[in-house]
Structure 1
Amino acid sequence: MGITRNTVLEAWMNEHGYSSNSLADAVNAAVERLTGRTGGLDGSSIRSWKAGRVRWPKSATRKALEDVTGLPATALGFVPRGRTPSTPAPRQQEDLDMKRRTLVGGIAAAAAAAAAVPGTAGPRRIGMGDVDRLQHRFGEIIASDHRHGGQLGIEQRAAALADEALNLQNAGSASQRVRGNLYACAASFRSSAMWAAIDGRRYDDAKMHMREAQALAEMSGDQAIKFRIWSHAGTMYRHMGRPADALAANDVARNLHLTRRDPLFASLGLARQAAIHGAAQDRTGTRRAFEQAQDAMLRADPADYRPVWMLAFYDQAELDALALSAYLALGDHPTAEFHAHRCLSALRPHMIRSRAITTTRLAHAQLAQGDADTATATAMKVSADAATQHARVARMLQEFGAALRATAPGTTTVQTWTEHAATWRMTA
């Protein structure tokens, strides 16, 4: 077999501004954090990856690369030993129920008929290679979201890719399995467009994407993407100040049988339920749900197959981030600060958006405890990009400034904050 260039890794590096040498440095540092020994990569090592001469890096190096990028190695174009590039990775939900079989089968027949043009050699055959290509693009969307978060460009790109996945349904003939996977891809992209709109506080757009995503997920029969969409809906309603609707949406996600099979999905559902209880001022419900979420996380098997979006963000740091949000809403500021420090100490390098949100919330918790100087120093650690380009962060920092002026009027601390915030505006 010839060597196939890893164009997926190249695309990721170009998007995120990495040269071969700088990526080697980042992965070496991540190897040192994992093993205590500095990695031995250099620019030529990365060029070998891009050229396809190394198809599956060694385990420690591979884990370090995944920590740097926030993506599994397979989503970066690497191929496990013993698998050819054209062989699709195993997918859950291979055995779909009879209702979905009938629905997707009918659509498949209609699409094939529409694609058959008289006078041609016949329709193109759509296969798992097309699905794999879309899944690589989904990994790129996930990485962009964790780096930038809430941007209109991410939302628009994800929506366009959802349309691209749907257009493939009419581009030729395909098996029922491929068609189900294409609907799952389209639902995944729509759910990312939905999340970008939520994160940017564009709630009307988010609800439009949600309706599209829900319909596509039903046609795909993919439990994991159904969970993602309904769990996002719960978060959307929580941010909108509608805890009853948030609980109802999150309960749809939590009641999927996927959560009974995989404790990590159960943990995420419970952690988001706890955050909703916090917004609703339910202290007992908050504490109980977080205890259950932590227990479920400890029971989860790290070796189980999970989709790229789950692997890229949900871990102990995210559980603590949700606890921070809940206890801040409850007014339990010491507990909120505790979870903020735990989250920041465990956040993976690619979680740039999450670090900005957590740092801002930590500043709020410190200010509420009367420590204006420490709180201001914390808030000033937020990057100018996040402070000006991320809608949620920008709003929380504006609220922090107003609270600081009310807490410590006329002080040098307020003056320091005002001058620093002005530099953010000048760089916007």
Structure 2
Amino acid sequence: MVSTGAVPNLAFRRLRGQRSAGEFAAAVRRAAREIGEQVACDARYIGRVESGEIRCPNYAYERVFLHMFPGTTLVDLGFSSRETVRGRGARATADTPPPTAPHRDTDEESDVLRRVFMTSGTATMATATLGLGGTPAAAAARPAPRRVGEAEVSAVEKAVRQIRLLDDRHGGDGLYRKASQPLRIAYALLDSGVAAKRSTAGRLHAGAGELAISVGWLAHDSGRFEDARSHYAEALATARVAGDAALEAHAFCNASFLARDTGRPRESVRAAEAGQRAAQPLGSPRLLALLALREAGGRAGLGDRTGCERAIGRAHAAFGRGRSDADPEWMSFFREAELEFLEAQCWSVLGEWSRAARHARRAVRLQDPHFTRNLALYRAELTWDLARAGEAAQAATEGHRVLDLLDRVRSTRIRAMLAGSVTALRPQRGTREVREFLERYAEVSGTRE
């Protein structure tokens, strides 16, 4: 909601011209990449700027805007000068909206990501990560630590685990921007090239790469697909530089997933196959199973039923070989419930809705209820499959259960899946269960029915 007394930024609106807010946001992200910045700009951010809710952008956005419009100042772009918006209250309106009541716990918990680096014992890192003492540019200009040792590497590894934990609870939407900051610090450490030992350097490369994948996943889950693609590519490059086959397999796994979700099934298959080649010598059947399911998803998108079935068969065979000491830590989510869910998605893409619904229902039944985001995800898949299978009343029942979880989960991906189910169910609104679900969905989402 726009702050009381906000003055619309008409100068910035004129700069957008005939482009939509989404198109302009994409241009901002491209400009950021040109100068090495990372900003999660979307149509909502542009709207907040134009409404006057954001009186002054943060330093990263400032650099991007001045790069896009050379020779201008912030005042020329319709913003207030930074001196006029200093102080705690001003900073709250500068870039970060006040958290709404249902999600305040998410914002507070995700602040842990910044505190993680306090354990490193390196004053430079702590200062940069917490934003103390100046701008990101000023933090980057500080001397790097003379040696990167156990404390710094452990801080990177701890940040990866913390991101995964918070994602399991809440989804990616509320975490992405905060998680990007530890990632920049991790790569600054890599760039310093001053690891005390070769083993430390290897762990730092692995930790930074895993952090890039984790942040990429948050971008993916929150609908920032180009950002996700960039983070996954960064992780893959890190893996190649370090000769780390496990990191390479993980990067290809997520790249395959993203390609499938963004309508590039052939690329999804190629990435999954490359991941399987990297994973082959690692001795983890579960990793091979997951990569085979990524391939199956891509082949389903190509309409290759035979190839999809073969990949699913390989996945089940590998999964059946059980756990291994070589299984990567990040694969803790890949249990039987996830296996069933990924297979459900394949049959759904191939148009076998009832078969897909059977697997999705098994995924829901098998899922640990503590993994809130995945439970919401599996129920959203089940809602969609039931709706397309003609089981409208059952779909509505599952849709209610997804809505019950969305107070605790912030995932653009899950909300998009549920919106698709709503569209599929609208022709059946004469059914009481469907009508009640559609009315509740409209109330929760702020749409009209």
| TM bucket normalised to smaller | 0.5 to 0.7
Map of 2:339 onto structure 1: 319
- Within 5 Å, give how 1:7-406 maps onto structure 2: 124-151=146-173, 153-169=174-190, 170=192, 172-258=194-280, 261-300=283-322, 302-311=323-332, 313-383=333-403, 386=406, 389-406=410-427
Deviation at 1:142, TM superposition (A): 0.7
Deviation at 1:268, TM superposition (A): 0.9
Cα pair 1:194 1:209 within 8 Å, conserved: yes
Q: In structure 2, what is the Cα distance between the partners aligned to 1:171 and 1:292?
A: 41
Q: For residues 176-199 of structure 1, give each alpha carbon's deviation from its aligned partner in whole angstroms, at most 9, with x where no partner exists.
A: 221121111111111111111122
Per the alignment, do residues 140 and 361 of structure 1 end up closer, same or farther by CA in structure 2, a change over 3 Å counting? same
Q: Bigger CA drift: 255-264 or 361-370?
A: 255-264
Unaligned runs of 5+ in 2: 1-115, 121-141
Residue type at the aligned position of 1:321: F
Q: In structure 1, what is the Cα distance between the partners aligned to 2:429 and 2:403?
A: 25
Q: In structure 2, what is the Cα distance between the partners aligned to 1:165 and 1:336?
A: 41
Deviation at 1:341, TM superposition (A): 1.7
Q: In structure 2, what is the Cα distance between the partners aligned to 1:266 and 1:225?
A: 14
Q: For residues 4-39 of structure 1, give each alpha carbon's deviation from its aligned partner in whole angstroms, at most 9, with x where no partner exists.
A: xxxxxxxxxxxxxxxxxxxxxxxxxxxxxxxxxxxx
Q: Give the total of aligned pairs.
A: 306
Q: For residues 132-159 of structure 1, give each alpha carbon's deviation from its aligned partner in whole angstroms, at most 9, with x where no partner exists.
A: 23212211111112222232x4223333
Per the alignment, do residues 157 and 226 of structure 1 end up closer, same or farther by CA in structure 2, a change over 3 Å counting? farther
Per the alignment, do residues 401 and 383 of structure 1 end up closer, same or farther by CA in structure 2, a change over 3 Å counting? closer
Residue type at the aligned position of 1:417: F
Cα pair 1:267 1:292 within 8 Å, conserved: yes
Residue type at the aligned position of 1:224: A
Q: In structure 1, what is the Cα distance between the partners aligned to 2:281 and 2:368?
A: 25
Cα pair 1:321 1:358 within 8 Å, conserved: yes
Q: For residues 220-269 of structure 1, give each alpha carbon's deviation from its aligned partner in whole angstroms, at most 9, with x where no partner exists.
A: 32222211111111111111111111111111111114456221111111
Q: Bigger CA drift: 227-236 or 380-389?
A: 380-389
Deviation at 1:383, TM superposition (A): 3.5
Per the alignment, do residues 305 and 262 of structure 1 end up closer, same or farther by CA in structure 2, a change over 3 Å counting? closer
Q: For residues 315-365 of structure 1, give each alpha carbon's deviation from its aligned partner in whole angstroms, at most 9, with x where no partner exists.
A: 211111100111111111221111112111221233222211211111122
Residue type at the aligned position of 1:334: S
Q: Bigger CA drift: 414-423 or 176-185?
A: 414-423
- Structure 2 length-normalised TM: 0.63
Unaligned runs of 5+ in 1: 1-76, 78-85, 87-113, 117-122
Map of 1:81 onto structure 2: none
Q: In structure 1, what is the Cα distance between the partners aligned to 2:228 and 2:368?
A: 27
Q: For residues 366-386 of structure 1, give each alpha carbon's deviation from its aligned partner in whole angstroms, at most 9, with x where no partner exists.
A: 222322111101111013563
Per the alignment, do residues 154 and 220 of structure 1 end up closer, same or farther by CA in structure 2, a change over 3 Å counting? farther
Residue type at the aligned position of 1:266: L
Q: In structure 1, what is the Cα distance between the partners aligned to 2:247 and 2:219?
A: 17
User: Over aligned residues, Cα RMSD in angstroms?
Assistant: 2.6
Map of 1:18 onto structure 2: none
Cα pair 2:353 2:388 within 8 Å, conserved: yes
Map of 1:48 onto structure 2: none
Q: In structure 1, what is the Cα distance between the partners aligned to 2:345 and 2:336?
A: 14
Q: In structure 1, what is the Cα distance between the partners aligned to 2:359 and 2:176?
A: 30
- Structure 1 length-normalised TM: 0.66
Map of 1:413 onto structure 2: 433
Q: Is the partner of 2:401 in helix, strand or coil?
A: coil
Report which structure shows greater RCO (CA 8 Å, sep ≥6). Answer: 1
Cα pair 2:429 2:438 within 8 Å, conserved: no
Deviation at 1:286, TM superposition (A): 1.8
